[in-house]
Amino acid sequence: MWFMNAVMSLPALLLHHSESVDPTLIEWIKDEIDAIFGVSPTMIVVVLGAVTLAFPIGLMVLAMLRVRKMRRGGS
């Protein structure tokens, strides 16, 4: 009986795997963000989205400038 219970509980245990954030943890993070910043979810999405957008675009620009400099014999 104990073995069946253990086997039946395995899928639920797998839910907490490192590949998938713990639901308890994400709830806590959301509560903390709400408490600290007190802004609307839309604003948080916009800010995080802007950071996510700015990093690759900025990096591509910097890399292109670097390559151009190398082609001009800068390195």
Partner 1 sequence: MEDQPGSSDTSPEIETGEPESGGGIFYGWYIVAAMFFATFIGVGTRQGFGVFVKAWEDDFGTSVGLISVAAGIGWAVNGLLQPVFGRLTDIYGGRRVMIISITALGFSTIAVGLVPNVYFLIAVYGFVLSATAGGVFPTPMSSVVSRWFHRKRGTAISLFTAGGSFGGMLMVPFAAYLLVIADWRTAWFVMGGIMVFLGMPLLVAIIRDSPSDMGLEPDGGPGKRETTDDSEGRTSTPTTIRIAPLEAHKWMDSFRSAPMWQLSLTFAVCGVTTAMISVHFVRWAETEGISAGTAALAFGVLSAFNFMGLVSAGWISDHMPRKYLLATVYWARALAFLGLIFLPGQMALWTFAVLGGASWLATLPLTSGLTADVYGLRNIGTLNGLAQMSHQVAGGTAVVVTGVVFAVWDTYNPTFAVGAVLLVAAGFASIAIQEHKYSIRYQTPVPAPPAATPFSVSAIADGD
Binding site for partner 1 (CB under 8 A): 2-3, 5-30, 33, 41-42, 44-45, 48-49, 51-53, 55-57, 59-60, 62-64, 66-67, 69-70, 74-75
Contact assessment for residue 17 and residue 6, using Cβ atoms and an 8 Å cutoff: no
Residue whose CB is less far from partner 1, 38 or 51: 51
Shortest CB 67 distance to partner 1, Å: 8
DSSP 36: H
Shortest CB 39 distance to partner 1, Å: 10
* Those residues with Cβ within 8 angstroms of residue 22's Cβ, 6 or more apart along the chain or in another chain: 16
